[in-house]
Structure 1
Amino acid sequence: MLETPIGWGLLFLVGTFTGTLAGLLGIGGGLMMVPVLTFFGIPLVQATATSLIGVLLSSISGTVQNFQTKSLNWQVSLLLALFGIPTAQLGAWLGDRLPDAGLSLAFAALLLITIYMMQLRQKLKRQENKTQEETNQTPTTDVAQVAVTGRTAKPIAWIGLLAGVLSGLFGVGGGVVMVPLQMLFLGEGIKAAVRTSLGAIVAIAISGIAQHAWNGNVLWVPGLCLGLGGILGAQVGTRLLPKLPDRMINLLFRAFLIALAIYMAARAL
């Protein structure tokens, strides 16, 4: 079905939806792209490899928008990517060697961990807002404030290393981990962290795609359909980010993640 115009159109719509969430939440979109591809009978390792094309294109689209509005902290994004590139290669190498059932269970666990990470992010956001209110500060979450220094370089490096492994292994961008960890260890505002992680995902996804392509796992046409939809969606998401509260979006997204986790676990069993 994915080789027909109907299948291409469906993948474009999936890419648009996930790209919008990528721009809003800084997650890259692969968390939903991968289960959808496996639903159509694609082996999981090929689904993870193919989703990275969509992750890459939607991340490029959102990052260009953030760069044009001068809201991208490119120094932190670059350092995250520098450490994420080699571990994305490692993750792709591991994914090609793990059994499909084991990888499915691991992906289901990742989806559940994602819910916790999103809750952590919301907690950090509330603390951030409370601190600003107590000190009578003007909210600054729209501006990237973290600088690359001797104090921040080490946590940035570790965050990038972890995000790279997740990207190559599961076909996700890694932003779902990067955003709350940046807030927790760098003190970065939530919207700044979303934009920074989205920029790093560009280089990390390229690295993962290269290794998966070497292994022959990338389905280029379905991936491009996802990616073209992701470009449109990311433009929508990054424009909505400064304007919309994400409480309802996060609640719906968590419910969707639980459903996907159940599906991936059942697929493995």
Structure 2
Amino acid sequence: MNTTAPAPHRNWLGLIITGLVVGIASGLFGVGGGILIVPVLVYLLRYDAKIASGTSLLAIVLPSVVGVTSYALQGNVDVLLAALLAVGSIVGAPIGSWLLTKVNRRVLQWIFIGFLIIVIVSLFLVIPSRDAIVHINVWTGVLLVLVGLFTGVASGLLGIGGGVIVVPVLVLLFGASDLVAKGSSLLMIIATGISGTVANVRNKNVDLPGALAIGLGAAVVTPLGVWLAGALSPQAANITFACFLVLVIARMAVDAWPRKKGRGA
């Protein structure tokens, strides 16, 4: 059975360049990169929105695997922490998708933009220690599952990748090293990406060749992004991540801004 969604005439160069940019961002920030992939596919490469989302979710798996491996080789992945986040995220994503039909998405987008502004300010005030260790007990474990649940719901509602939420929350609220936060975030993203892709492939919402082109391009340069993350000082890493979040806010604001109806509409 053919599980590949119909796609416009593929711009292979555009897909590969998108992958290269996403790979650097994935390794450097510990994010999947969907926040970058989806608008490029929709607005520049003329993909249908649903197919763009499904293609993005699959495309981020390969660079996330490479990123996790790179961070793990440096001892910067906490498997238990990532597993607890993934449990919550996998449960939360379908809840967010269901809520999407029940709530005003634009209002939620502006609320989330407010949340990101608070995070940006906090990143300039809190400098993580790279020797920090997150000690997981019953209560910490419950909180991590809840963070994952919130991340999954936000992902389902807003199309925001988990790393945008998880990395700053782990640093600011749990006192994690920024490198461990990024490595563990990527491990969580693998689990949620695979689980979401199963349903998308079944519903033919994935352009498999396009996802492969982006994923391979990203995977090649993800180790460079991981190297850059370690080369930056914790303070510089925070500032860089804050700048990335400004781009996320700009992208969300464009999407959330009310559009004028055409005449006769």
Q: Tell whether 2:153 aligns with 1:152.
A: no
Question: Displacement, 1:202?
Answer: 0.9
TM-score by length of 2: 0.80
CA contact (8 A) 2:124 2:238 kept: no
Instruction: Look up the match of 2:181.
Output: 193
Partner amino acid for 1:192?
V
TM-score by length of 1: 0.79
Residues 23, 267 of structure 1: alpha-carbon distance in 2 compared, 3 angstrom cutoff:
farther
Residues 194, 247 of structure 1: alpha-carbon distance in 2 compared, 3 angstrom cutoff:
closer
Q: 2:70, 2:132 → 1: CA distance?
A: 15
Instruction: Look up the match of 1:224.
Output: 212
1:110-169 CA distance string (max 9 Å, x none):
87357426405514533x4xxxxxxxxxxx41x561132113111101111122233344
Residues 252, 185 of structure 1: alpha-carbon distance in 2 compared, 3 angstrom cutoff:
closer
Please point out which of 25, 28, 31 is paired with 1:24: 28
Q: 1:176, 1:168 → 2: CA distance?
A: 14
Q: 2:109, 2:86 → 1: CA distance?
A: 25
Question: Displacement, 1:62?
Answer: 0.3
Q: 2:110, 2:48 → 1: CA distance?
A: 18
1:1-269 aligned within 5 A: 3-4=9-10, 7-39=11-43, 40-92=45-97, 105=106, 109=110, 112-113=113-114, 115-116=116-117, 118-123=119-124, 125-126=126-127, 128=128, 140-141=129-130, 143=131, 145-244=133-232, 245-246=236-237, 249-250=240-241, 252-265=243-256
Residues 64, 171 of structure 1: alpha-carbon distance in 2 compared, 3 angstrom cutoff:
farther
Q: 1:67, 1:98 → 2: CA distance?
A: 40
Q: 1:180, 1:251 → 2: CA distance?
A: 9
1:34-88 CA distance string (max 9 Å, x none):
1111103323222221111122222111001112222211111111112222223
Root-mean-square deviation (CA), in Å? 3.0
Give the count of matched residue pairs: 250
Partner amino acid for 2:171?
M
Instruction: Look up the match of 1:133.
Output: none
CA contact (8 A) 1:121 1:179 kept: no
Q: Which sits farther off after the overlay, 259-268 or 71-80?
A: 259-268
Question: Displacement, 1:31?
Answer: 0.8
DSSP-derived class of the 1:241 partner: helix
Question: Displacement, 1:172?
Answer: 4.1
Identity %: 28
Question: Displacement, 1:262?
Answer: 4.6
Q: 2:78, 2:169 → 1: CA distance?
A: 16
Q: Which sits farther off after the overlay, 105-114 or 69-78?
A: 105-114
Higher helix proportion (structure 1 or 2) = 1
1:169-224 CA distance string (max 9 Å, x none):
45543111112222233222222212221211110111121222233211212212
